[in-house]
Amino acid sequence: MLTATIEQDGKTRVENIFVIDSHSHLGEDVDGATMMNPLAPGSGTFDFWGNVQGRIKADWGTTGEQSFSTKMDGKFTKITWSFNPYPFTDNLYIALESIGKRYSDLKEKSKFYSFIDQGVVFPFQDVFRDKHPEARYRASNINVSRFTTRFPFSMKLIGKNIVLRQKDANCEIGVTYIMSK
């Protein structure tokens, strides 16, 4: 969660901004792109989120632009940015940590990607489409469902399945078509 601490006229208020990564993929694409596991080190969605958060923090450290001054409603205002975990998820991870055993490390792991609160994942156009064109997204749709309905992935990922109704439509047309319905 992106948090803005706003100081104006001697008063401070905090605004939490829920951040959604609205375009990630799961599956294996005909063009060679793969994303079979969102937790895969170096190539997974969660690792990508951690890298983005790390780069922003590094930039703040280098440039000093984590805080800036501006005018809001004609008044001098200082805004400071920070990353904080989404409260519901964080409280759940704290409870699991206190119980111990399975999932007790989720709070520690999630601190590296607290900037992104949710991610929408789409299937790739599957590699076996030439053999079964009617099932162009089937395997990737199954992969999306497998991850987005399982804990702990379900805490961060929202799945979007694609079912094409146009015979020769590609992935982007399919997404546009479904999203407009």
The pLDDT, as a whole number, for residue 133 is 58
Query: CB under 8 Å, gap of 24 or more: what pairs does 15-18 form?
Result: 16/84, 18/86, 18/117, 18/118
Please count the CA atoms within 13 angstroms of the CA of 131 that sit on its side-chain side: 6
Helices (H), the chain: 45-63, 87-99, 106-110, 138-148, 171-179
Span 138-147, pLDDT tens digits: 777 787 888 8
The pLDDT, as a whole number, for residue 174 is 42
Residues 24/123, Cβ–Cβ less than 8 Å: no
Helix (H, G, I), strand (E, B) or coil at 64: coil
Span 66-110, pLDDT tens digits: 999 999 999 999 999 999 999 999 999 999 999 888 888 888 888
Q: Is the model's pLDDT at 36 over the cut of 60?
A: yes
